[in-house]
Structure 1
Amino acid sequence: MALSDVKIRALKARDKLYKVPDDRGLYVEVSPKGAKLWRFRYFFHGKDKRIALGSYPAVGLADARKKRDDIQQAIAEGVDPILERKRAKLAAAFGAANTFGEIAEEYIEKMVAEGRAEATTVKANWLLEQLKPLAKMPVADIKPIEVLGALKKLSARGKYETARRCRSFASRVFRYAVATGRGEMDPTSVLRGALIAPRTKHHPALVEPEAVGELLRTIDAYSGNAITRLACQISPHVMLRPGELRQSSWSDIDRDKAVWTIPAECMKMRRPHAVPLSRQVLQYLEELYPLTGPEGFVFPAFHTSKRPMSENTVNQAFRRMGYAAGEVTAHGLRTTASSLLNESGKWSPDAIERSLAHADANAIRGIYNRGRYWEERVAMHQWWSDYLDELRVARSIVRAA
């Protein structure tokens, strides 16, 4: 017999939970504490299922019956109400994380899951910190003028490059928000040209042979930490970026085959990079091996072997040698190599670019070139080390010819 409000109110608690049916699968479940919960029993693809419809009296008899009828209609259309409810809860939880800060953190987590380099994700977190004024704002409500205000604060402190990078990072976050259904537009798209363009800064580098020779002699005479000295001695020969050098492990180096292979995750362009090792580099590695080998980082941090050498260690060594920040940097040694190798006229520009691990605009051509120029690069690296030795011992200018 169908229920009525009078009958439902009269239901009393018992020692055990019990059920009282209404009609067409709808029933009231009464708990030992007297709570009354509406439930609906149905079959979906042959499976016996039950779904909660709310508690009485918050959900009255008429409302419960209407919910039952709506669910029956959904079932007739092939929709499982329990699965649909789970999807709605997930969508609600997903949509609730709609502030710029929350979506930016989610985007960074996605970068980590995709295997992006640690340095890249650390930089992304740092950029998010710079955009703190936007962090708690719902992403769909942020207007271009509000983004511009946050960026202008950075520009006002002379941080033009930081402002530019923050605009680019914010753009990626907004586009991710649009793609995941929580944003409507990228408000940074109209801000191009609104910020002060940073001046291009080139890494300080020595390009005169006599000055390079003086630098090499100064490095040899360095009386500080031996591992730091060897990092300074090896850097000019291998043409690696400072981060690639200091994050390398002994497992990356095959001294028998004279090849130093940098894994893709440590490379700026996310592609593995092989460096031919000259006799001189192999000799430096022989000296370094007893200090830091046979496992772990080639250039570990001073205080722990579990971390690589600090990114400032080599540059600080140059400062202690008497070179100002505007004269010599670890990264600038790549410019030194590029300039003098091109000046020599002995080597193809493509081979030089391969050794510098610069990206080829043509991806197919780049893959082909990596193999094609290997033998030339082997010869070039040995010539380059020999030439550096000449500069080290010479007291007058030795041109790369």
Structure 2
Amino acid sequence: MSLTDTRCKGAKSQEKDYKMSDEKGLYMIVKITGAKWWRFDYSFDGKRKTLSLGTYPDISLKIARERRDEYRRMVATGIDPSANRKASKLVESIEVKDSFKLIALEWLNVKKSEWVSSHYSKIEARLQRDIFPWIGDKSIIEIKPIEILNVLKRIQDRGSLETAHRAKSDISQIFRYAIQTDRAQNNPTIHLGGALKTPKEKHMASIVEPAQVGELLRQIESYEGTFIVRCALQLAPLVFVRPGELRQAQWKDINLETAEWRFKASKTHQDHIVPLSKQAVEILKAIQPYSGHGLYVFPGLRGDDRPMSNNAILSAFRRMGIEKEEMSGHGFRAMARTLLAERLRFPDGIIEHQLAHQVRDVHGRAYNRTSFLNDRKIMMQDWANYLDNLRKGEDVLPDGFTPLHSMQY
């Protein structure tokens, strides 16, 4: 039964809080103290959420229903009322209800659950530092391409070309979100193609000469830092995943019985499988008693609920006397890519699959994560055996090695 003003006024406190329902998600909570709070329940993106609409009688039944209806309209157009409210509170001036800053902060709040915290923080900092001061208070529908270009050129002119391109991508995504939530009609960034200089391609520092790889492996073997970092250093060349994927590896994704590590590749967001060599399994078994009870394979120093620092591997290199111009955490990928092709002669397609790069067949269709999995298992074991030989100072192919370069691909 719907509420009436008479029922709202006459509601008395009881021994515990109780609920008086209205309709369409609106209800009143009567507290032990006699205070009467309006609440609104709704579903968004498959999740149940609740908003507080104020207290009665300051907020009358009529006003509470009006606010409920306003939030229901938001939900119908794809806007999360909770995210919208949080964004509104963050904006110092809300004179412009559809300001770029308001919508951008709302978009950030929606995306927060999809991103790792470091990625979220970088984008938030870029918006606050490079974008909001210039266009944050403007109505999003009034922002012109030339205004966005001026923002981007300020970044470019200080020598931060890659940041300028990332800022352009951020702005574009915010406009797409505004369009999807019916607060903008077009994305002005589409008119800025070619307006910025093209960044020079940067190659991550890597060691690819067999003799130098052997020396690096011997340095890792004798590393005297923490056990966690030492294990991460030992595993890195065996699996050659992206640095963030290694440090954020989770035990739930690793099956030591089947010798497989399954996770979502950070760059492509596609399911990926890393076959684990016998050597990789041994390293993981060694660290399991230390971190196996927690979430991360390589937990941070501040607790098991956080992964190892993104500077841990780089700091270890510096401690071993390896400069940033010589080797990076990403360098293990270039190392594997080069030596698997040039020394072990594996087909490019097999290697690219294992690097979690987008690989398509002759018809342009993307292969799935299990494509050539048996061949990749053979490759990963041969690679581990080859690294063992290099560590011993022997640039020889592993025993029983059978190249796959003659296979049809």
TM over 0.5: yes
Shift of 1:122: 4.0
The equivalent residue for 2:171 is: 170
SS at match of 1:256: coil
Shift of 1:389: 0.6
Shift of 1:194: 2.3
Tell me the distance in 2 between the aligned counterparts of 1:360 and 1:248: 23
Counterpart residue type for residue 251 of structure 2 = W
The equivalent residue for 1:7 is: none
Tell me the distance in 1 between the aligned counterparts of 2:218 and 2:71: 70
The equivalent residue for 2:259 is: 258
Shift of 1:87: 5.5
Matched, 1:223 2:262: no
The equivalent residue for 1:320 is: 319
The equivalent residue for 1:9 is: none
Tell me the distance in 2 between the aligned counterparts of 1:378 and 1:181: 49
Tell me the distance in 2 between the aligned counterparts of 1:313 and 1:189: 39
Please give the per-residue CA displacement for 1:314-366, whole angstroms capped at 9, x wherever unaligned: 01111111111111011111110011101135422222112111122469843
The equivalent residue for 1:101 is: 101
SS at match of 1:205: coil
Tell me the distance in 2 between the aligned counterparts of 1:203 and 1:86: 54
Shift of 1:225: 1.1
Unpaired stretches in structure 1, ≥5 consecutive residues: 1-16, 19-81
Shift of 1:158: 1.1
The equivalent residue for 1:28 is: none
SS at match of 2:306: coil
The equivalent residue for 2:354 is: 355
Tell me the distance in 1 between the aligned counterparts of 2:71 and 2:226: 61
The equivalent residue for 1:180 is: 181
The equivalent residue for 1:39 is: none
Q: Which moved more, 1:354-363 or 1:194-203?
A: 354-363
Kindly report which structure 2 residues correspond to 1:96-175, keeping only aligned pairs within 5 A, or say none: 97-112=97-112, 115=114, 118=117, 120-129=119-128, 130-133=130-133, 134-175=135-176
Are the aligned partners of 1:251 and 1:295 in contact in 2 as well (CA < 8 Å)? no
Kindly report which structure 2 residues correspond to 1:166-245, keeping only aligned pairs within 5 A, or say none: 166-245=167-246
Task: Mark the CA change 1:256 to 1:179 in structure 2 (over 3 Å): closer, same or farther.
Answer: closer
Q: With structure 2 as the length reference, what TM-score do the two structures score?
A: 0.70
Tell me the distance in 1 between the aligned counterparts of 2:275 and 2:71: 57
Tell me the distance in 1 between the aligned counterparts of 2:294 and 2:305: 10
Q: Which moved more, 1:317-326 or 1:137-146?
A: 137-146
How many residues are matched?
317
Please give the per-residue CA displacement for 1:152-199, whole angstroms capped at 9, x wherever unaligned: 221122110000110121122123323433234323223222222211
Are the aligned partners of 2:175 and 2:187 in contact in 1 as well (CA < 8 Å)? yes
SS at match of 1:131: helix
Please give the per-residue CA displacement for 1:271-295, whole angstroms capped at 9, x wherever unaligned: 2222111111122122212222233
Say which structure is richer in helix: 1
Query: Between the two proteins, what is the percent identity of the paired residues?
Result: 37
Matched, 1:384 2:407: no
Between structure 1 and structure 2, the one with the greater Rg is 1
Please give the per-residue CA displacement for 1:32-59, whole angstroms capped at 9, x wherever unaligned: xxxxxxxxxxxxxxxxxxxxxxxxxxxx
Please give the per-residue CA displacement for 1:192-236, whole angstroms capped at 9, x wherever unaligned: 222222111111111111111111111111111121111111100
Tell me the distance in 1 between the aligned counterparts of 2:372 and 2:307: 31
Unpaired stretches in structure 2, ≥5 consecutive residues: 7-64, 75-80, 85-93, 404-409
Task: Mark the CA change 1:268 to 1:122 in structure 2 (over 3 Å): closer, same or farther.
Answer: farther
Matched, 1:366 2:366: yes
Kindly report which structure 2 residues correspond to 1:337-356, keeping only aligned pairs within 5 A, or say none: 337-344=336-343, 346-356=345-355
Shift of 1:313: 0.7
Are the aligned partners of 1:355 and 1:377 in contact in 2 as well (CA < 8 Å)? yes
Tell me the distance in 1 between the aligned counterparts of 2:161 and 2:242: 24
